Amino acid sequence: MKAFVLLFLLFNLITFFVFGYDKYLARTNRRRVSEKTLLSLAVFGGSAGAVFAQKIFRHKSKKYRYLFWIILTIQFILFEAIWFFSSDASHTLQNFSLM
């Protein structure tokens, strides 16, 4: 389970930096990171990083404001379900119910 959390944090950190890099490219009038890539990063686990990048870099904040919050909520529910049904959580709940 620790590896899962570390991968989640790493992926969100990567997403955050890709959004920041895209903002840098936008300011310097260079070729940008595609929106498909940015959305894919958010959908596949980096929505928290995308939301923080929107706030900090003020990047893509009007165009995708609600979409990233919806994706973040769905991911939170999915990750919570994965945690709940993992062996660690099941073991914890069994110990709690025995008390």
pLDDT band, residue 68 (cuts 50/70/90): low
Q: Closest by alpha carbon to 48, among 3, 16, 80, 24?
A: 16
Average the pLDDT over 23-49 and give the result.
88
Burial of 77 (0-12, 13-18, 19+ CB in 10 A): exposed
What total number of domains does the chain contain? Answer: 1
Average the pLDDT over 20-42 and give the result.
90
DSSP per residue, 40-83: HHIIIIIHHHHHHHHHHHT-STTTSHHHHHHHHHHHHHHHHHHH
Contacts of 66 (CB under 8 A, 6+ apart): none
Average the pLDDT over 2-7 and give the result.
76
Question: Tens of pLDDT along 7-26?
Answer: 888 988 999 999 999 999 98
Tell me the residue length of the chain: 99
Structural domain span for residue 27: 2-98
State both tokens at 48. Answer: 């928290």
